[in-house]
Structure 1
Amino acid sequence: MDGTTSLVTGASRGIGRAIAKRLAADGSLIAVHYGTNGSGAEETVAQITEAGGAAFAVGAQLGVAGDADRLWAAVDAGLAERGVRPGVDVLVNNAAIGGATPTLATARPDDFDELFAINVKAPFFVVQRGVDRLRDGGRIVNVSSVATRIAIPDTLAYAMTKGAINTFSVTLAQELGARGITVNAVMPGTTATEVNAAWFDAQPALREAVTGLSPLRRVGEPEDVADVVAFLASPAGRWVSGQVIDASGGAHLGFSVGQGPPETV
């Protein structure tokens, strides 16, 4: 990927940081986006440059009016400062919010609207405003979630946003294919990001339970997801488009041999 430029949204920590570092290791110049965590984005940039890569931070809060325009203006300015030709080859829409998302019983309109504004509306308009900046033969990778293929009431609204991202990815692949642009979505499962790692450390039983969801018997690492994204973003992924790819370690496939279903009463 030498000579390419990539924009990774939500790259100040977690999966986004791992993706940015992986693409940089492959030779791409990385625009490291952050919404509010500027120090985290600068840490991502520092880790990339220390490893011999190239990156710069771009700040733009998503989910508010004019967010996509501000993001692309920051990218344009960052490239101009470095004497790099305008435009990007790879766009990774990773930025999202989750956590304790609204359920059917607890959802309030404002919470629901914020969730969809950041997780769905923002990537839609980031693509719309940036599609002319995306070079022919480029790549778009949208980060979705394995929550879209299982039923978890506590993540209902969040899963709905990621279901929208899956549909967006498939339809966008059809629309942009004539330009040689591939579009795919990647669905991580529970991943040991900085936030989740602290959560697991405080609740060992929870880590054990999550580990048991995958036949590979471990919790995912950000690098596991980043490697899948890097393949799709690379020349090797040129013939994969319009796909929603599970990168959860096979979580929620079913009961393991000898485990059997839980007892019922």
Structure 2
Amino acid sequence: MTKLAIITGAAGGIGQALLAEFAETGHRLVAVDLPGSGVAEILAPYGAEHLSYELDLGDEAQIAAFWSWFDAQNAPVDVLVNNAALGPSMAPTLETPLSDFRRTFQVNIYGPFAMAREAAKRMQPGGVIVNTASQAGVLGNPRRNAYAASKAALISMTKSLAAEWASKGIRVNAVAPGYIRTPMVAELERSGKADLALVRQRIPLGRIGRPDEIASVLAWLASPQARYVTGSVVAVDGGWQAFNQPGHAHPPVDGAPPAELARPAAREGARVVLITGSGRGIGAATARRFAKAGDSLILVDREGAEVLAAELGPQHLGLNLDLTEDAAVERLFAGIAARFGRVDVMVNNAAVADQFKPAFEQSGEDLARTLEVNVTAAFHCARESLRLMPAGGGVIVNIGSINSFLPFAPRHAYGASKAAIDVMTRCLAAELGPEGRRVVTVAPGYMRTPATADLEAQGRIDIKAIRRRIPMGDMGRPEDIADAVWFAASEKASYFSGAILYVDGGWTSFGNAGVASGDDSDPQDFSL
């Protein structure tokens, strides 16, 4: 059945890219924008089956009229993209009228809330709402009080709605773009409120993003491949938030780089992908996902990697080895250089759990065991992979954890190791961005893996209690992480760097006292 996507702000830069992205995936479109925006003419080339509607999201009466009109179409609503926004005025605080401040909130938060509320009333399980937030809602900016505060409000609302509606099978996520080449940014440059040459020097990737680079992430979050992602706010900013030192993140750029103006030609041929911890669980699922895409794999684990590689085909290499043995890792990369000549994607997945001991009983040796595998070996593999990555490209995906965002007692070593991974991702992204390389973290929540089953069998975790703590009411699947890793390493994620994608069923969005979901005797599956 054809799915329907409502897209607000459809006549703008990101909005038009969203129309193209959702049309490409076979959605029926309802394009919404201001009166006089020309949204009907913009939508016309996509065909008569698509619909347009003009309204001002700052007017609740117009929003009510839209939904009355929509109901008359006898159409389902599967996806809502809250993309419309009133841009920053850049006025000094003392020169900002309260009427302007209120108008920004009316369009940027009240309007999206009303649209989400009405869409959710009409959605079946499997429905998705995605919001276009902003890095301005995460980082402070002078003279952007109303805009930045409204986007921070939208980010918070994304999480609270995700936690509330997870039991209904409705997912809610957001993307926080950095500087994107849109009419809004062009107007800031024209009016002298933004120096784009200086902006490019502040971005590790050295360029402003394209609208399609935001649309592709929003569309992925709305897709079945993101079925366990809810309450996530994904920073898509070229590494802006990962850079934290005086000076410039990128050397001066002469004009707009080609990749800022148009999507580069699609890459042809198989990539060479190295995946550690790939003998079972998340690593094995990730290997299968990349193999399905036709990539050539190097699989490494203490055990199971050789068997899986043989199962997937003779073009793949599987090696059983201990990544804490430095000499073995050096031999591994010498062998990769000899057989494959390069590494295009490195997935740092290998990890061990800690001992669950109270702090009074933990020793430095206990900490070292976990940190050696989870952090030092990951750094070693990342460093050696960089030596083999082609100039101007390459992606490193580090597997993090919800355990770094919300540490668990007494899992001191594991939480510390995953916090280290998160920040190492940012450091690498800030350093390697000027070389055209991306580094990201995918952070799983609780997954149905052999490792989780082992912890349950040992009595170290309570699966029923865990399910009640997850807004979606159940643990995820290894394939959920595999899909996220594959997307993060793809060209569709080309402006996603130095940031975290949480795949946790809403775990990190829930801050209430009590349980996040109801009785877990019959976990629900909303992967429609």
Question: Which of the five TM-score ranges fits, normalised by the shorter chain?
Answer: 0.7 to 0.9
Contact map agreement 1:59 1:74 (CA 8 A) in 2:
no
Q: Percent identity?
A: 32
Per-residue deviation, 1:200: 4.5
Q: Does 1:37 align with 2:36?
A: yes
Match of 1:66 in 2: 61
Match of 1:8 in 2: 7
Match of 1:244 in 2: 233
Per-residue deviation, 1:64: 1.7
| Pairwise CA RMSD | 2.3
| 1:206-245 deviations in Å (ceiling 9; x for gaps) | 2211112211111111001000001001111111101111
Per-residue deviation, 1:101: 4.5
Match of 2:242 in 1: 253
Q: How does 1:184-195 map to 2 (within 5 A)?
A: 184-195=173-184
Work out the CA distance in 2 between the residues paired with 1:234 and 1:46.
24
Match of 1:162 in 2: 151
TM-score (norm 2): 0.44
| Stretch moving more, 19-28 or 64-73 | 64-73
Match of 1:263 in 2: none
Per-residue deviation, 1:130: 2.6
Q: Does 1:56 align with 2:45?
A: no
Work out the CA distance in 1 between the residues paired with 2:116 and 2:101.
22
Work out the CA distance in 1 between the residues paired with 2:29 and 2:104.
26
Match of 1:180 in 2: 169
How many residues align structurally? 248
Per-residue deviation, 1:106: 1.9
Work out the CA distance in 2 between the residues paired with 1:189 and 1:147.
8
| 1:49-83 deviations in Å (ceiling 9; x for gaps) | 3xxx9522111221124132122123334xx2xxx
Work out the CA distance in 2 between the residues paired with 1:198 and 1:171.
33
| Stretch moving more, 85-94 or 227-236 | 85-94
| Candidates 64, 75, 80, aligned match of 1:91 | 80
* Structure 1 stretches of at least 4 aligned residues deviating more than 6 Å after TM superposition: none
Per-residue deviation, 1:99: 3.3
Work out the CA distance in 2 between the residues paired with 1:165 and 1:212.
28
Contact map agreement 2:124 2:169 (CA 8 A) in 1:
no
TM-score (norm 1): 0.85
Match of 1:109 in 2: 98
Per-residue deviation, 1:168: 0.5
| Stretch moving more, 129-138 or 9-18 | 129-138
| Stretch moving more, 158-167 or 206-215 | 206-215
Work out the CA distance in 1 between the residues paired with 2:247 and 2:152.
33
Give the partner amino acid of 1:23.
F
Q: Does 1:27 align with 2:60?
A: no
Q: Compare relative contact order (CA 8 Å, sep 6+) and give the higher one, 1 or 2.
A: 1
The unaligned stretches of length 5 or more in structure 1 are: 261-265
Q: Could you say what secondary structure the match of 1:88 adopts?
A: coil
Q: Could you say what secondary structure the match of 2:41 adopts?
A: helix
Work out the CA distance in 2 between the residues paired with 1:196 and 1:256.
25
| 1:116-168 deviations in Å (ceiling 9; x for gaps) | 11111111111222322122211000110001222211212111000110111
Work out the CA distance in 2 between the residues paired with 1:258 and 1:127.
41
